[in-house]
Structure 1
């Protein structure tokens, strides 16, 4: 089957199902923190230059074999999310249904792939569509002999940290090494307290999900201005330092992530003020990982279990302002607001309260309030701590470029910061935003957001 785009064609050579080497059939329940994640997929892809040894057929065979062994450790990824009638809840059925594995060939050289516009080059081409199970994988051989590995996960089963842990382990097994970290699926470490107790402030962060009405802007979307598209940029370290300085002008140093979040929040508000969305609500949320927080103070064993926990351990604190307010605020004042709402979630008690809050609502679908309305809301996640460049070596060299990927069907605004593949102080930033906002960013913040290209990646 051939897939043709205006840039290059993809030919699907083979589709197989790879099963875990060993897997005991059982049900794995979701934790309370897993239940805060909506049912959507998120992907990652990794690009490599042509291996210096071996042919592609051998490489493909080795990858399938090592995947089977990796799935024996990460057995939920070889299962399915189904209703467990015995308990009346969706759970991961660890039945070794297997992972759909696609082998493809692309008529394009690595240096010709348009990474700046993943809707053109990645979506439906170098990234698999997950039709079954929890995980789908595609391995694509490029015209130059380079390789792209694309993985699509069901977010309900794994957050970015967990997905990164799996791919790192798969790479280590492919290199005939022992995985440096083994996953933990011990659900009891995230059990609620008895009796449950939590701060009422959580009712301002999460709520029971009710399908929203269609956004008002859909009637004004004739030119596709409010259609969500994907773009990838790099930000130079010098620009990050400059924004951090501006965000810290109130006398308190802000982190680069807080400064970046503040800058993006303001630029999006400015784009709204420059359009027909003046003085409307604009929210921004920052994903906070609770692993290190929940592991504090309960002994070394609990700390290790939390550090290797496979699943979702995230909270989504957020701030809300009208675009006109953000336009008039200094970057340092916005950064103070970002810092303050993030601080509510970077403590152990917040996550303990969140687990208890969900326990009393387990029978209902839940959602972060920032995404429960039709107003402009952007979720920002930091992947700069992920060891993409040095941990994803499958035996033929380091990653040339790696990124997350949001399927085109996702209706939420999402941004992820990633480490640069070439300069340690730079960032790569993936944005899934309305076309109108991205056009404004490119027109008014081109000094900050520079389209990713082959020259920057050095290929």
Structure 2
């Protein structure tokens, strides 16, 4: 079900890079859903009201035909929203002032756009502030928005291509959940059989009654999260956004240097932590400590029988470590990776996730925040902070709307916090390379780009369509 409309953007036209919004419509589920409210789980409530974007670049989806590829996407979206009906709703406040989902079949706003006279291969995607911002929607209402941009080159029809950008409310779902939605949407567009339906059973994350005394103070949950009223103000720091390629060889070399038993993500995080220490030491702010966090998914930790594989929502925690810049710079990569492994493993347990559910219950209705975001050392001093969130499970090859796998894909998450945010995902090429979205202080980006390996420029002209 599609409701057509226009916006000021559609009437006034051009954005940067000659992107013009030509139409905006709202796509509702193909079958009606009885309006109801769906509470957010306690693990949803630890997320602030922030939006996450992801975009996918394709060759010529229309195969030289004139119709806009949004036609196919909107029809498939209406079908997919029947099972994923919360994505067609909106976040509202309950009687206690907490956010919850109103499943109202409001629908998903879909903008159709064109980029006449611009080649996607000419965009500097490694500089997302100038190239990606016009390609991902700014969500104005609802849970999710979509923008479909077609690059039309009248003189060179073979250069036609399309970008599908999506923006969603992180309080409603994590990357794992949104991956499920993307795969289902793509399957509907191809006419393939639907994957297993999502589960919205909040009973998986229900607090224990009565909650053990250890669930309120002094435990790991209490060390990783804090009520907002007790949290220090976030620093107002400048940030730079970049998208890099990390080659499969560099990933393997980092893992080898990190020592036996360390994952690729642990090795990558250790390397990044040391780069942050180098940047902090050179910064005019003279920060003496660096805080590094890692987002950990809890589905398999809570239920080893696979019962939560289809669970849709947030099942996350964010362990972190703090270390002095001089200590970090003087350690081997293996020693730093060992420290990352220690605090990640401490949080990657079912018991921690159960205690976190109960800890949040004890704080409600006051909101909470992850300490990893706050940029504080052990003594309360300012610390340069970063959070790593793995997007390596994004099944890029399965986000095929009938036009083949994407030529390029990346997250886009220029969040307002003072901490950096780094999100690696598999290259759309399927060759073992990583595409890494970086939101970090300018001095950190300078250090990344000064090193001879690991964080490499995309060299878009060759990377996208060679």
Q: CA deviation at 1:58?
A: 5.7
Q: Deviation string for 1:211-258 (max 9, x for gaps)? A: 64363xx5xxxxxxx52121111111221222222211xxx4311111
**Residues 119, 127 of structure 1: CA spacing in aligned structure 2 closer, same or farther, 3 A cutoff?**
same
Residue 243 (structure 2) aligned to one of 232, 248, 260:
232
Whether the 8 Å CA contact 1:38–1:367 is kept in 2: the answer is: yes
User: In structure 2, how many angstroms separate the alpha carbons of the residues matched to 1:182 and 1:411?
Assistant: 37
Whether the 8 Å CA contact 1:129–1:152 is kept in 2: the answer is: yes
Q: Please give the secondary structure, in 2, of the residue aligned with 1:382.
A: coil
User: In structure 2, how many angstroms separate the alpha carbons of the residues matched to 1:336 and 1:205?
Assistant: 19
Residue 57 (structure 2) aligned to one of 44, 47, 50:
47
Tell me the equivalent position of 1:381.
389
Tell me the equivalent position of 2:173.
158
Q: Please give the secondary structure, in 1, of the residue aligned with 2:124.
A: coil
The answer to whether structure 1 residue 122 and structure 2 residue 132 are counterparts is yes
The answer to whether structure 1 residue 247 and structure 2 residue 247 are counterparts is no
User: In structure 2, how many angstroms separate the alpha carbons of the residues matched to 1:369 and 1:56?
Assistant: 51
The answer to whether structure 1 residue 448 and structure 2 residue 461 are counterparts is no
Residue 424 (structure 1) aligned to one of 413, 425, 431:
431
Tell me the equivalent position of 1:63.
73
Residue 110 (structure 2) aligned to one of 96, 101, 105:
101
Residue 209 (structure 1) aligned to one of 218, 224, 228:
228
Q: Please give the secondary structure, in 1, of the residue aligned with 2:176.
A: helix
Q: CA deviation at 1:9?
A: 0.6
Q: Please give the secondary structure, in 1, of the residue aligned with 2:77.
A: helix
User: In structure 2, how many angstroms separate the alpha carbons of the residues matched to 1:355 and 1:55?
Assistant: 52
Aligned pair count reads 435
Tell me the equivalent position of 1:399.
406
Q: Deviation string for 1:7-59 (max 9, x for gaps)? A: x2111100111111222200010001101111100011011000264735263
> What TM-score results when the alignment is normalised by the length of structure 1?
0.91
Q: Please give the secondary structure, in 2, of the residue aligned with 1:140.
A: strand
Q: Deviation string for 1:81-116 (max 9, x for gaps)? A: 11123x653210001111111000013222112111
Q: Please give the secondary structure, in 1, of the residue aligned with 2:335.
A: helix
Q: Please give the secondary structure, in 1, of the residue aligned with 2:251.
A: helix
Tell me, which stretches of 5 or more residues in structure 2 are unaligned? Answer: 1-11, 153-158, 376-381
User: In structure 2, how many angstroms separate the alpha carbons of the residues matched to 1:56 and 1:228?
Assistant: 40
Q: CA deviation at 1:411?
A: 4.5
Residue 88 (structure 2) aligned to one of 57, 72, 78:
78
Comparing 449-458 with 32-41, greater Cα deviation is found at 449-458
Tell me the equivalent position of 2:3.
none
Q: Please give the secondary structure, in 2, of the residue aligned with 1:403.
A: strand
Q: Please give the secondary structure, in 1, of the residue aligned with 2:165.
A: strand
- Map of 1:192-207 to 2, 5 A cutoff? 192-197=207-212, 198=214, 200-207=219-226
User: In structure 1, how many angstroms separate the alpha carbons of the residues matched to 2:240 and 2:465?
Assistant: 25
Q: Deviation string for 1:145-169 (max 9, x for gaps)? A: 2111100001000110111111111
The answer to whether structure 1 residue 187 and structure 2 residue 202 are counterparts is yes
Q: Please give the secondary structure, in 1, of the residue aligned with 2:14.
A: strand
The answer to whether structure 1 residue 318 and structure 2 residue 327 are counterparts is no
**Residues 178, 412 of structure 1: CA spacing in aligned structure 2 closer, same or farther, 3 A cutoff?**
farther
RMSD: 1.8
Q: CA deviation at 1:172?
A: 0.4
Residue 272 (structure 1) aligned to one of 265, 280, 294:
280
Whether the 8 Å CA contact 1:262–1:335 is kept in 2: the answer is: yes
**Residues 370, 214 of structure 1: CA spacing in aligned structure 2 closer, same or farther, 3 A cutoff?**
closer
Tell me the equivalent position of 1:438.
445
Tell me the equivalent position of 2:26.
17
Whether the 8 Å CA contact 2:400–2:406 is kept in 1: the answer is: yes
Whether the 8 Å CA contact 1:235–1:448 is kept in 2: the answer is: yes
Tell me the equivalent position of 2:147.
138
Tell me the equivalent position of 2:421.
414
> What TM-score results when the alignment is normalised by the length of structure 2?
0.89
Whether the 8 Å CA contact 1:233–1:452 is kept in 2: the answer is: yes
Q: Deviation string for 1:118-142 (max 9, x for gaps)? A: 111011x101000111101000101
Residue 457 (structure 1) aligned to one of 455, 460, 464:
464
Residue 185 (structure 2) aligned to one of 170, 177, 199:
170
Structure 1 segments of 4+ aligned residues over 6 angstroms from their partners: none
**Residues 410, 101 of structure 1: CA spacing in aligned structure 2 closer, same or farther, 3 A cutoff?**
farther
Tell me the equivalent position of 2:289.
281
User: In structure 1, how many angstroms separate the alpha carbons of the residues matched to 2:409 and 2:437?
Assistant: 11
Whether the 8 Å CA contact 2:276–2:384 is kept in 1: the answer is: no
Q: CA deviation at 1:410?
A: 5.3
